[in-house]
Structure 1
Amino acid sequence: MSENLIIIDNPLARYYLTVLRRRDTRPAVYRDYVKKIGYIIGYEASRLLKWKPVFVETSIAKTEGIVPGKQVYIIGVLGASIPLMHGIWEALPWAGLGIVAARRFKVENKVLVRLYYERVPPDLSEYTSIAVDPTLATGNTMIKVLEKLNELKCKDYLVATIIASRTGLENLWKRFPDVRVITLSVDPVLNQDYFIVPGIGDAGDRSLSSDEF
């Protein structure tokens, strides 16, 4: 589809995704596995970050190592992104954490999105930003998030999601042709309610609901 698409091909990640796809996975388990996937995504995202060489003293000698070469900000869409953000943050604990809130509404045969809240630094020009949403369905929410990052002077960003639809990726790349996307799966279909098929269900409802006893 694009050289900017990074699909994580890892058996453990595929197993975690299988658990999320099951309709009978309970909220606490679903939430935990979203967080585990976040850690794997953070691990893979580290390949795309800036690093710089350093020398460190061990108890015996001096040796070479690396440290982050550029500040990182993880920016998630409330509320479905909460466990996914935390998983990525555990993998990249020096990063900052920002949030945006989006309201989606249908107009005729389209889904429109409005951002109505953000807690993000006013100047992201010195950061690599990782924009996080567990599903990339129409792509409209992520487009709004990246437009906001542009307003905040961010020039270095990537998108992290668990699953994406072909339609969503195509829409995203029409607006941002060079943005890199990390995902576990590209699913083929959006249904009439704009859910990804086969998908992982409504990630927000399934992650944030309480378990029944």
Structure 2
Amino acid sequence: MTSAFPSVTVLDHPLVQHKLSLLRDRETSTNGFRRIAREMSLLMCYEVTRDLPLTMVEIETPLERMQAPQLLGKKLCFVPILRAGNGILDGMLDAVPVARVGHIGLYRDPQTLEPVEYYLKLPDDIQERLVIVVDPMLATGHSVAAAVARLKEAGAAQIRVVCLICAPEGLTTFTTEHPDVPVFTASIDRCLDDHGYIRPGLGDAGDRLYGTK
């Protein structure tokens, strides 16, 4: 489903939306939240990779030889934004187990709400791969925008972003800085509150994934 933001796609598949409601529920346990986030990210991965290029190769079935489709060229690279991004990485890898994985460590300064980088590790051939940035929340948009900027500096030419929920304020920030980068999400929520949290949201994704406060 398209949105008010041209580069943003809202995934309205019934299973995605159902699982998002379970994640939002404050009664969902840490274990349940972790499991559902993994299931949901697997479903979202199907959508974000829908247009991957294919080539035909010859294989032999138990009955005969045939031409069969296979992914063309270099495979994907998933780049979670630490730490919460790891919570939806496993579901992506369930769908594409051959993908490479990079990591970007960012935290949000509680006063300025600006991102601070503390870790970066990417595959050497990042420029040859479709890079999918994964992070549960796109709130102010600053962290995801900073992560994408660093990936571009490293040579990544094809980048997409996957997040569970977004705030319109954050999407405005992100799409202004990176209008060339598609965003895939399950929901564009109402707004940010005074503390930079998405409303109605689902709480702090990292805390709910790992049982911290």
The alignment's TM-score, normalised by the length of structure 2, stands at: 0.93
Aligned positions of 1:31-110 closer than 5 A? 31-69=34-72, 70-107=74-111, 110=112
Aligned positions of 1:171-210 closer than 5 A? 171-209=173-211
Partners in 2 of 1:122 and 1:140 — Cα distance?
25
Secondary structure at the aligned position of 1:173 is classed as helix
CA displacement, residues 144-193 of structure 1 (integer Å, 9 cap, x when unaligned): 11011011100001000000111111111111101111111111210011
Please report how far the alpha carbon of residue 123 of structure 1 lies from its aligned counterpart in structure 2 after TM superposition. Answer: 4.3
Please report how far the alpha carbon of residue 18 of structure 1 lies from its aligned counterpart in structure 2 after TM superposition. Answer: 0.6
The alignment's TM-score, normalised by the length of structure 1, stands at: 0.93
Equivalent residue pairs, number = 208
Kept after mapping to 1: 8 A contact 2:101/2:123: no
Question: Structure 2: 5+ residue runs without aligned partners?
Answer: none
Whether 1:138 and 2:167 are equivalent positions in the alignment is: no
Tell me the equivalent position of 2:13: 10
Amino acid at match of 1:99: H
Change over 3 Å in CA distance of 1:80–1:51 after alignment to 2: same
Please report how far the alpha carbon of residue 49 of structure 1 lies from its aligned counterpart in structure 2 after TM superposition. Answer: 2.5
Please report how far the alpha carbon of residue 38 of structure 1 lies from its aligned counterpart in structure 2 after TM superposition. Answer: 1.0
Q: Which moved more, 1:20-29 or 1:115-124?
A: 115-124
Secondary structure at the aligned position of 2:84 is classed as coil
Amino acid at match of 2:138: L
Whether 1:164 and 2:181 are equivalent positions in the alignment is: no
Partners in 1 of 2:54 and 2:173 — Cα distance?
31
CA displacement, residues 102-126 of structure 1 (integer Å, 9 cap, x when unaligned): 121144xx41111110121244110
Partners in 2 of 1:48 and 1:169 — Cα distance?
23
Kept after mapping to 2: 8 A contact 1:32/1:83: no
Kept after mapping to 2: 8 A contact 1:49/1:128: no
Kept after mapping to 1: 8 A contact 2:59/2:65: yes
CA displacement, residues 40-77 of structure 1 (integer Å, 9 cap, x when unaligned): 11111221333322232211122332222232100001
Kept after mapping to 1: 8 A contact 2:7/2:175: no
Kept after mapping to 2: 8 A contact 1:80/1:133: yes
Tell me the equivalent position of 2:116: 114
Partners in 2 of 1:191 and 1:48 — Cα distance?
36
Superposition RMSD in Å: 1.4
Kept after mapping to 2: 8 A contact 1:138/1:171: yes
Partners in 1 of 2:174 and 2:108 — Cα distance?
16
CA displacement, residues 184-213 of structure 1 (integer Å, 9 cap, x when unaligned): 111121001111111111000000117xxx
Partners in 1 of 2:155 and 2:75 — Cα distance?
14
